[in-house]
């Protein structure tokens, strides 16, 4: 089914409100008119990162400073006392509002296993974190980090007495197991993880003693700490050797290992150990996080880690909350309904800005508050023409790779109207996402609303029209663009409106909404001609941690996944971009940034990559970044009211959230 021009007359947020309100009314829910949206508090933008290895002060530990559920286990002899479970120097976390209360269940909703995997990602414990402006870093999981002047050596110290969630020591044995048997194992890792690469060579890990290890690069690695701090930027060393060795052929008995593979119904030990390392898949996996999986879903149950290494200023072990429960729902609309009904404690995933009026009108009955805060990331809905499309439609591929066609699609969009209808007028212009290039207005000319110029470009390409004004393929059939749309009402609404604009220049759209569980298989197939999601817009040098939208450096570079796969796999998979192409130039610039320790030069390199991105019009952009929405129960406390830079906020230190029963 094709979406047509009449779509622009639909008031998408209002429609969503009316439909959901009707559903609520059928269930006895409130349907009063929505009040005005709250104002947003804009956070400081991310800046350059600088080095600091100052230790965080520690608080005295009292053996009574633990959750009642753990105290009961201690009394029953099932768990060692608190002083034996904490490291010698636990990390002190200052609560955002006040010290919390122990206990309670944090209810969230996810749309399936893939969404549960994503939700659990935000509980990662980075080796370092940056301050709220992304200018200064400090140790987090590491007790200390020392960086050589030339940026080639990083020395990490693990806290003495730090333990995995099962009580086994966390030491450099785990680090070396990860490095030697996972990261450098060609069966598990066909290419070494990009985070340990610099100058085309992998780092060398050296064990100094049980609590100290060194990472040595052949060339400077100016992005190493930035990547370690970002939740999706990469990780090193967190592999519980005492548990995982039983699934690795370097340590396990061959017959016993094969029996485990057969019992799991898998084809190889590689698949087995990958499953066993799944944070949201394997309840037996020891972790260093605040909560560990105890029941695979649905629902997914995570319970407090009795050996977690952080405390509050009073010496009380964190986390405050006993359990996280991820409930499974069919789709994002059901997430919205459960949030409105007051059934979710804190939900930020799968929450749509277009539903803001509905969230606001139901606050009192749902007993929740709505946190609306400006974010630097991501930009609005973006359509990515796949430069590496491997489908059998050569004509569509010829259009995708013609910059005139990509320019025409951009020129046809009425961004001011789209912002009002889809984003309630809340999102910033595209230029805001490119602060270093705002003095080059010619780079943004293609994002003006100019259907006449769009038609001229399509005429120049030679696309003829039929009697209805529809552009035609060489065989005389109308041109139809198949667009995979990431599941969610905002994405669907935006693409529907974009389709109406494109129909005005004779281009029809056939959308297909793709669920989270099917999204990544589709992306990794390279078979989609167009896909609709968002463009990343992390600010400052932190943009290097998630560069996929600006250069083909990842298998999730939606506009060139095969080129990105080739780069991230070290050339073992995917497709190499042409040597003289802008895409390859962007990759080489990223290589230069990695081995540069001068932050000023790094920023110059970033500007060059961004300029290439805009000059080549790789994407169909709509609007810049805007606010995001969090639905938080009124008794769920210590949640920040602003968005911090991404290197500071691993879900804003969830261990200090608490439920005020």
Write the DSSP assignment of 403-442 as a string of letters.
HHHHHHHHHT--HHHHHHHHHTT-SPPGGGG-GGGTT-GG
- Tell me which residue has tokens 């996402």: 433
Q: What share of the chain is helix, strand, coil (3-state, %, to 5)?
A: 35, 15, 50
Burial of 327 per CB tally in 10 Å (0-12, 13-18, 19+): middle
Tokens of 74: 């201690």
Tell me the pLDDT tens digit for each residue of 330-383: 988 899 999 999 999 999 999 988 899 999 999 999 999 999 988 888 899 999
Whole-number pLDDT of residue 42? 28
Whole-number pLDDT of residue 538? 86
Q: Is the pLDDT of residue 79 over 70?
A: yes
Sheet of 144-147: strands edge to edge?
144-147, 153-157, 212-216, 204-209
Reported residue count of the chain is 661
Using pLDDT thresholds of 50, 70 and 90, give the confidence band for residue 34: very low
- Domains belonging to the chain, first-starting first, are 125-240 (3.90.76.10), 377-625 (3.10.105.10)
Q: Is the pLDDT of residue 181 over 90?
A: yes
Burial of 346 per CB tally in 10 Å (0-12, 13-18, 19+): buried
d(CA 559, CA 19): 34
Query: What angle separates helix 516-525 from helix 113-121, to the nearest 10 degrees?
Result: 90
Residue of higher predicted confidence among 640 and 45? 640
Share of the chain above pLDDT 90, in %: 75
Q: Is the pLDDT of residue 38 over 80?
A: no
Task: Please work out, in degrees rounded to the nearest 5, the angle formed at the alpha carbon of residue 630 by the alpha carbons of 661 and 650.
Answer: 90
d(CA 288, CA 240): 9
Whole-number pLDDT of residue 332? 86
Whole-number pLDDT of residue 377? 83
d(CA 273, CA 296): 17
Which letter does DSSP use for residue 287 in this model? -
Residue of higher predicted confidence among 644 and 57? 644
Burial of 101 per CB tally in 10 Å (0-12, 13-18, 19+): middle
Q: Among 377, 399, 404, which Cα is nearest to 530's?
A: 399
Tell me the pLDDT tens digit for each residue of 289-302: 999 999 998 999 99
Beta strand spans in 457-602 (E): 480-486, 508-514, 530-534
Residue of higher predicted confidence among 1 and 509? 509
Whole-number pLDDT of residue 64? 65
Contact 622, 415 (CB under 8 A): yes
Please, which residues have CB within 8 angstroms of residue 483's CB and are 6 or more apart in sequence? Answer: 383, 495, 509, 510, 511, 512, 529, 530, 531, 532
Q: Is the pLDDT of residue 26 over 60?
A: no
Q: Among 418, 301, 288, 266, which Cα is nearest to 353's?
A: 418
Please, which residues have CB within 8 angstroms of residue 299's CB and are 6 or more apart in sequence? Answer: 325, 326, 327, 328
Whole-number pLDDT of residue 427? 95
Average pLDDT, the chain: 88
Tell me the pLDDT tens digit for each residue of 40-78: 322 222 333 333 333 344 454 444 699 999 999 999 999
Segment 485-496 shows an average pLDDT of 93
Segment 443-455 shows an average pLDDT of 98
Q: Is the pLDDT of residue 650 over 70?
A: no
- Pairing mode of beta strands 105-110, 323-328: parallel
């Amino acid at each position: 089914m094709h979406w047509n021009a009449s779509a622009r007359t639909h008031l998408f947020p209002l429609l969503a409100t009316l439909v959901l309100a009707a559903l609520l009314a059928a269930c006895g829910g409130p349907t009063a008119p929505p009040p005005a949206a709250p104002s947003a508090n804009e956070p400081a933008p991310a800046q350059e990162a600088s080095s600091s290895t100052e230790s965080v002060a520690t608080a005295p530990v009292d053996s009574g400073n633990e959750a009642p559920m753990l105290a009961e286990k201690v009394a029953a002899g099932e768990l060692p006392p608190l002083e034996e479970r904490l490291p010698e120097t636990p990390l002190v976390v200052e609560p955002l509002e006040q010290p919390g209360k122990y206990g309670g269940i944090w209810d969230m909703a996810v749309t399936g296993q893939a969404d549960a995997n994503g939700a659990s990602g935000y509980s990662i414990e980075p080796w370092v974190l940056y301050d709220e402006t992304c200018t200064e870093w400090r140790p987090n999981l590491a007790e200390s980090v020392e960086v050589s002047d030339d940026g080639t050596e990083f020395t990490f110290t693990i806290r003495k007495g730090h333990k995995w969630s099962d009580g086994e020591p966390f030491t450099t044995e785990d680090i070396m197991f990860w490095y030697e048997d996972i990261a450098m194992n060609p069966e598990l890792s066909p290419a070494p993880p990009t985070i340990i690469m610099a100058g085309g060579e992998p780092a060398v890990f050296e064990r100094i003693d049980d609590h100290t290890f060194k990472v040595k690069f052949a060339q400077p690695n100016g992005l190493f700490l930035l990547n370690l701090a970002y939740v999706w930027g990469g990780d090193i060393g967190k592999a519980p050797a005492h548990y995982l060795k039983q699934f690795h052929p370097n340590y396990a008995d061959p017959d016993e290992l094969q029996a485990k593979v057969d019992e799991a119904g898998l084809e190889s030990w590689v698949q087995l150990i990958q499953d066993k390392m799944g944070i949201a898949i394997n309840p037996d996996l020891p972790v260093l996080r605040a909560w560990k999986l105890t029941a695979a879903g649905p629902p997914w149950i995570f319970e407090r880690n009795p050996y977690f290494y952080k405390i509050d200023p009073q010496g009380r072990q964190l986390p405050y909350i006993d359990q996280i429960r991820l409930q499974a729902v069919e789709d994002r609309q059901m997430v919205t309904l459960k949030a409105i009904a007051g059934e979710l404690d804190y939900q930020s995933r799968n929450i749509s800005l277009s539903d803001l009026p509905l969230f606001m009108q139901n606050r009192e009955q749902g007993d929740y508050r709505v946190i609306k805060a400006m974010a630097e990331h991501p930009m609005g809905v973006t359509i990515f023409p796949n430069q590496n499309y491997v489908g059998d439609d050569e004509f569509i591929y010829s259009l995708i790779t013609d910059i005139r066609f990509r320019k025409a699609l951009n020129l046809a969009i009425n961004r001011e109207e789209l912002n009002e209808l889809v984003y309630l007028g809340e999102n910033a212009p595209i230029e805001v996402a490119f602060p270093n290039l705002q003095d080059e207005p010619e780079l943004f000319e293609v994002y003006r609303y100019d259907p006449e110029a769009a038609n001229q470009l399509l005429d120049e390409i030679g696309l003829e029209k039929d009697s209805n004004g529809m552009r035609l393929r060489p065989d005389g059939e109308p041109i139809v663009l198949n667009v995979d749309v990431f599941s969610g009402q905002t994405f669907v609404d935006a693409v529907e409106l974009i389709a109406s604009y494109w129909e005005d220049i004779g281009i029809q759209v056939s959308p297909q909404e793709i669920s989270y569980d099917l999204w990544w298989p589709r992306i990794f197939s390279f078979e989609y001609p167009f896909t609709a999601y968002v463009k990343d817009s992390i600010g400052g040098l932190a943009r290097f941690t998630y560069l996929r939208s600006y250069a083909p450096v990842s298998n999730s570079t939606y506009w060139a996944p095969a080129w990105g796969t080739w780069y991230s796999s070290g050339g073992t998979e995917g497709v190499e971009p042409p040597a003289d192409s802008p895409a390859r130039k962007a990759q080489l610039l990223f290589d230069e940034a990695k081995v540069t320790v001068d932050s000023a030069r790094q920023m110059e390199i970033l500007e060059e990559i961004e300029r290439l991105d805009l000059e080549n019009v790789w994407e169909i952009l709509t609007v810049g970044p805007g606010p995001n929405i969090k639905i938080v129960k009124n008794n769920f406390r210590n949640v920040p009211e602003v968005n911090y830079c991404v290197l500071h906020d691993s879900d804003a230190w969830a261990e200090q959230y608490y439920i005020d029963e």
